[in-house]
Amino acid sequence: MRDFRELKVWTKAHLLTLQVYKITKNFPSYEQFGLTSQMRRAAASVPTNIAEGCGRESERELARFMSIAGGSASELEYQLLLARDLNYIQEETYNALNQQINEIKRMLNSFIRKLLAVGC
């Protein structure tokens, strides 16, 4: 088992989640149970799955949870695009968060490749 707090990808995903919570506070109140909730769930799912994977016994299981985290990151990537297109966030905010998501996805993919190479 690994300590998820020691992984740079977890730290970046956690910070991204905090930012998503902060920006969604300004979304229209009618989005509380819609896009706001979906974005927060998707964002929190990334570091949550990383943490859960670190509690698993095998490298293959850890890789599976990293893959699930990547899927949640892709979900959030679209939701940010939607929020931008609905004018809930500014272009600059979208660009900064999108860049962070893509960095996290790259880190997850690299980690998955390493885990699966070790497991073979």
- pLDDT of 120 reads 47
Count of C-beta atoms within a 10 Å radius of residue 93: 15
- State pTM to two decimals: 0.94
* CB neighbourhood size of 64 (10 A): 16
Instruction: Report the pLDDT value the prediction gives residue 39, as an integer from 0 to 100.
Output: 98
- pLDDT of the residue at 119: 54
Q: Residue 60 belongs to what domain range?
A: 4-119
pLDDT at residue number 94: 98
pLDDT for the residue 1: 77
The CATH number of residue 47's host domain is: 1.20.1440.60
34 CB burial (10 A radius; 0-12, 13-18, 19+): exposed
Q: What is the pLDDT along the chain (120 residues), one digit of tens a residue?
A: 789 999 999 999 999 999 999 999 999 999 999 999 999 999 999 999 999 999 998 899 999 999 999 999 999 999 999 999 999 999 999 999 999 999 999 999 999 999 988 654
CB 24 within 8 A of CB 40: yes
Query: How many structural domains are present in the chain?
Result: 1
**pLDDT score recorded for residue 2:** 87
Tokens 């299981």 belong to residue: 61
